[in-house]
Each structure stands twice: as structure tokens, then as C-alpha cells.
A and B are shown apart, each in its own frame.
Chain A
């Protein structure tokens, strides 16, 4: 199993500002995933964070808006840039174990005012 620590757990931000979310895993993992869960909605993959290379973004998500860092095999950050109220969501970090089971962080509840 994997234990994921995600920070902050929640934040209220002013529009136009940026927030960086951190994800720390207690073991080395190849890929880390960032998901967005809009209010009352399902989870949608933003990007896959690969160590040593640029993140792979899903359709509808761009690096300028959601820059991702992956400096090592246990840590990643997601930045939500130039925020607007539409960015108010829960953001979740996830990793996958070798048996394909996915583990999730506790999520970051972001409110943009």
C-alpha cells in the first residue's frame, strides 16, 4: 500500500492568484496522477506526472494553467494558476501500486472567491 500526504487540505483564494498543492508519498512510485473533482461531479484526470520528464496533460487541461512538478519519485506539486471561481474544486493526488490499485490523497478543497 501507499500513504499519501496532500497539503493543504483546504484553502480559500482570491481570483487571479495561484495555489500550489503538494503531494508526498511514503514510497517511490513511477507515476503520479492529479485529478479534479468539481462540486457534485466525478473525478477527471488533469495530468500524469512523470519523474524526469514533463507531465502529460489530458484534453482540456494545459500546462500554463496547471503546471506540475515532479522532482523525485516521492513528491509532486500541482499549481492552479490565475484562479477564477470556476476552479473551485477538490483536487486529488493519486499513485498506482504495482498491482494496479490506485491510492489517493485526502484531497484539497479549493474555493476561489
Chain B
């Protein structure tokens, strides 16, 4: 079974600085998707960025980028120019490729990293 591990329960960053959140995963599959979700106090889950495992190029979305190391099964999130609105719980998530080995397309989440942004 697939697992997702986030080893940093809490992180803190100064406004305008850069922070990196770590995520590792375990799978025997070769095709899958990885995601970072943000959950602010409002509870709304918001997709930050996604990565397809077959793509070697790291995904970027404005100030958010990932470092995807498939061989190492690592998927870290870098937030540049941190803003107060970035403060939230961040979840790393894994999803199998649809239909792979009979797996459903459910998301498997890590335990989350609570990010605080200091003004």
C-alpha cells in the first residue's frame, strides 16, 4: 500500500523569505500523481500544485514550485516570497494512475505541515 510521510509537523518563515516543506512517499507503482494541498483555518482544501510522475520537469505555479525526485520518492514544496496568506496547513497527497492494478483514484494524504508566516 502507498504511504505519504511529512516529517515536519510545523514550520515557520519570515514574510518575503523562502521555505521548503518536505514530503516522501512509498509506492511500487511507476505511474501516479502527487499533489500539495493547502488548508487554511476556513477548512477549505485548496490545490496548490500537482506533479505527474511521468514528467521529469518540476511543476511550478507562480511562487510555488516542487522538487520531484522520483528515484528517491521525494516531493518537496518550495514557497518563495512568502506572504501572510500562505499561513495554513499543507498536505502532501498521492494518487494512483487511474485503473492501475485495480486501484481507485482516491487521495492518500500525509499528516500535514502547519506553516506559520511571521511579519
A-B contact count (CB 8 A): 48
Kindly provide the distance from the CB of A3 to the nearest chain B CB, expressed in whole angstroms.
12
Q: Chain B residues in contact with chain A, CB under 8 A?
A: 33, 35, 42-45, 47, 50, 91, 95, 98, 104-107, 109-112
Contact A42 B91 (CB under 8 A): yes
- Indicate if A81 sits at the interface (CB-CB under 8 A): no
Contact string, A85-105, partner B, CB cutoff 8 A, digits 1/0?
Answer: 000001010101000111110
User: B111 contacts which chain A residues (CB < 8 A)?
Assistant: 41-42
Give 23 CB contacts A-B under 8 Å.
A31-B105, A33-B106, A33-B107, A41-B111, A42-B110, A42-B111, A43-B91, A44-B109, A56-B104, A58-B106, A90-B43, A94-B45, A96-B105, A100-B50, A100-B95, A100-B98, A102-B35, A102-B47, A102-B95, A106-B43, A106-B44, A107-B44, A107-B45
| Closest partner residue, chain B, to A1 (CB atom) | B47
Contact B43 A107 (CB under 8 A): yes
